[in-house]
Structure 1
Amino acid sequence: MFERLADLVTFRLLGLSDGTKLADAVHFFVGDTTKIFVLLVAVVFLVGLFRSVMTPERVRDYLAGRSRGTTYGMAVGLGAVTPFCSCSSVPLFIGFLKSGIPMGATMAFLIASPMVNEVAVVVLAGVVGWEVAVLYVATGLAVGTLGGWLTDRFHLERFVRDFVWQVRTAQGAGNLPDTSLSGRARFARDEVREILGRIWLYVLIGIGIGAGLHGFVPQEVFAQYAGAENLLAVPAAVLAGIPLYANATGVIPVVDALLGKGVPIGTALVLMMSVVALSLPEFILLRQVITVRGLAAYAGFMATAFIAVGYLFNAIL
């Protein structure tokens, strides 16, 4: 139905000629805008219902007191299904460590949670297909698990700033005042209003960029600079994501346009992962709780992991 709506607006209401650059860009913009916002409203409401049950405190309690081997799997699994973005990283980091959760499990959760954003995964599947979404989820879980293991293996807790171990976390924060079905529905509705109010502009900007790439940039440009033959394309995609400020949902239209222009799947997904997990806002938040050396170790690991994943996906797909 989104395709039909895009046809109606582009060719009948606006009267644009099929096959022109402007028509291609407008068609992409209308189709992706309606599809992504419909998916966002539906998925954010369902995630809001889930979040009314799975609070950060409950996640912390699930992980506390378990063996390190068990906590890795639980941490990335909970990170994949809990709706916490990078803006929650500082309070979660402090709360997890103060609850006795190992540093490795804490890092595994904090890597997986923003990367494997369940809203973005559903939108990604709706826009570019479930195969790409499954690859993205598998990558996020693998990177989170490996990051947690390396954190414990090299005792990176020494890079945590001293004040973190002295902070006392608040108990009971985030509990719903009304746990009835109607109360949870109101909570989910408020989540839709809050999250869409925070990201709608970034999503539109992402769709606009994707529409411009789709309609006006010749495919030969992408083949030359971002094709599988260019070995520097994957590292360049990692670097390109660092200065960008957007969540995963806002980057999906850009990924869609890049894939449509023939950019290899690994390169496109690496850009998305870099924007989500290596952006400057993420570094600024983490700098509050870990030292510069710890931040450098985190950035080095994530960049290396993303580059390896990009080359692997480009080679096998």
Structure 2
Amino acid sequence: MLKAFADYLVFNLLHLTPGSHSGEALNFFIYDTIKIFLLLTVIIFVVALIRSWFPPEKTKRILSHNREYVGNVMAALLGIVTPFCSCSAVPLFIGFVESGVPLGVTLSFLISSPMVNEVALIMLWGMFGWKIALVYIGTGLLVAIFAGIIIGRLKMEKYVQDYVWKMQVGNTEIAEQRWSERFVYARQYTAGLLKKIWPYVVVGIGIGAFIHGYVPQDFLARWAGRNNPFAVPVAVALGVPLYSNAAGVIPIVQALTAKGMAIGTVLAFMMAVTALSLPEAIILSNVLKKPLLATFFGVVATAIVAVGYLFNAIL
């Protein structure tokens, strides 16, 4: 129905020619904008209800009782249903460290939360099907778990900024919420998140529409296809300077895939954009000294490149 509406609007009312660059680009933009915002509104509301059981203090308390390996797995899983963005990195990091959460476990959470979330899952499911969505979620969790374990094994606690160890964040008691309060929270969270991310979504859809309508069919397949051995690290390197979230980057991913870019390269690009960014590095430099910050980015980037090559080989 949405596709029929987009076709009618673009090709009947606006009289653009099917198959033309402008017609295909505008059709892509209208169809994806409507579909994505419908998906986001419904699914974010449902997941916000689940998130109401996992406020930051409760998450911190759960992780503080788990140690290496089990803690890394728990941290990566909790990252899916707990809010995280670059602006909350500093207080979350301080709270976790102050509560006795091991450094590697904390970093598993900080990797998983922006990269593996409900927006990425639902949008990937809607655009590519459940298999690709689960592939992305599964590999994102593995990257978060193993990167956290590796960094934890390196014993780099001395490279956490000194003031972090002196902070006393405290442990506020969490009052049990009634269902009516959870629905209010979910409605407010959904409205607030959509208000924050809609520009990224629209820009991402616009870029995806341009790629869909104007980039030649074989251009990306030639330069970023399976036959280019450097396609994956180049995609990761291009993703790091970009600052977006899953909602903004997935329409671009859809267009890149449609133009022939290998799926492993696309997944690596998406992971780099969502899990590694220059603004995040600047903010995290307030709590991590340069050796640990460089190690964090290096380990995660290496893991993402490995994931890209793996899936290019098997898919």
Asked if structure 1 preserves the Cα contact closer than 8 Å seen for 2:151 and 2:296, the reply is no
Asked if structure 2 preserves the Cα contact closer than 8 Å seen for 1:103 and 1:152, the reply is yes
The match for 2:148 is 148
The match for 2:308 is 310
CA distance in 2 between counterparts of 1:266 and 1:303 reads 14
By how many angstroms is 1:154 displaced? 0.9
Asked if structure 2 preserves the Cα contact closer than 8 Å seen for 1:151 and 1:157, the reply is no
Asked if structure 2 preserves the Cα contact closer than 8 Å seen for 1:21 and 1:216, the reply is yes
* Aligned ranges 1:160-239 → 2 under 5 Å: 160-172=160-172, 179-239=177-237
Matched to 1:229, the amino acid is: N
Asked if structure 2 preserves the Cα contact closer than 8 Å seen for 1:10 and 1:23, the reply is yes
Asked if structure 2 preserves the Cα contact closer than 8 Å seen for 1:238 and 1:307, the reply is yes
Normalised by the length of structure 1, the TM-score is 0.95
Matched, 1:78 2:78: yes
Alignment partner of 1:242 out of 240, 243, 249:
240
Asked if structure 1 preserves the Cα contact closer than 8 Å seen for 2:240 and 2:278, the reply is yes
Residue-by-residue CA offset, 1:80-119 (whole Å, 9 max, x unaligned):
2323233322111111111111111111111111110112
RMSD: 1.5
Residue-by-residue CA offset, 1:55-99 (whole Å, 9 max, x unaligned):
011111112133323212211111123232333221111111111
CA distance in 1 between counterparts of 2:40 and 2:136 reads 18
Asked if structure 2 preserves the Cα contact closer than 8 Å seen for 1:47 and 1:119, the reply is no
Residue-by-residue CA offset, 1:133-166 (whole Å, 9 max, x unaligned):
1111111111111112112211022211111111
By how many angstroms is 1:42 displaced? 0.8
Matched to 1:243, the amino acid is: P
Single out whichever of 110-119 and 209-218 deviates more from structure 2: 110-119
By how many angstroms is 1:51 displaced? 2.2
CA distance in 1 between counterparts of 2:154 and 2:282 reads 23
By how many angstroms is 1:169 displaced? 0.8
Matched to 2:150, the amino acid is: L
The match for 2:115 is 115
The match for 1:300 is 298
CA distance in 2 between counterparts of 1:53 and 1:65 reads 18
Instruction: Tell me the secondary structure at the aligned position of residue 79 of structure 2.
Output: helix
Matched to 2:182, the amino acid is: R
By how many angstroms is 1:304 displaced? 0.9
The match for 2:138 is 138
Asked if structure 2 preserves the Cα contact closer than 8 Å seen for 1:80 and 1:141, the reply is no
Instruction: Tell me the secondary structure at the aligned position of residue 219 of structure 1.
Output: coil
* Aligned ranges 1:39-54 → 2 under 5 Å: 39-54=39-54
Structure 1 stretches of 4+ with a deviation exceeding 4 A read none
CA distance in 1 between counterparts of 2:231 and 2:290 reads 28
Asked if structure 1 preserves the Cα contact closer than 8 Å seen for 2:51 and 2:81, the reply is no
Single out whichever of 145-154 and 258-267 deviates more from structure 2: 145-154
Single out whichever of 33-42 and 128-137 deviates more from structure 2: 128-137
Asked if structure 2 preserves the Cα contact closer than 8 Å seen for 1:83 and 1:118, the reply is no
Unaligned runs of 5+ in 1: none
Instruction: Tell me the secondary structure at the aligned position of residue 266 of structure 1.
Output: helix
TM-aligned CA distance change 1:220 to 1:67, over 3 Å? closer
Instruction: Tell me the secondary structure at the aligned position of residue 226 of structure 2.
Output: coil
Instruction: Tell me the secondary structure at the aligned position of residue 19 of structure 2.
Output: coil
Instruction: Tell me the secondary structure at the aligned position of residue 253 of structure 2.
Output: helix
Instruction: Tell me the secondary structure at the aligned position of residue 125 of structure 2.
Output: helix
Asked if structure 2 preserves the Cα contact closer than 8 Å seen for 1:47 and 1:83, the reply is no
CA distance in 1 between counterparts of 2:262 and 2:183 reads 41
Asked if structure 1 preserves the Cα contact closer than 8 Å seen for 2:208 and 2:251, the reply is yes
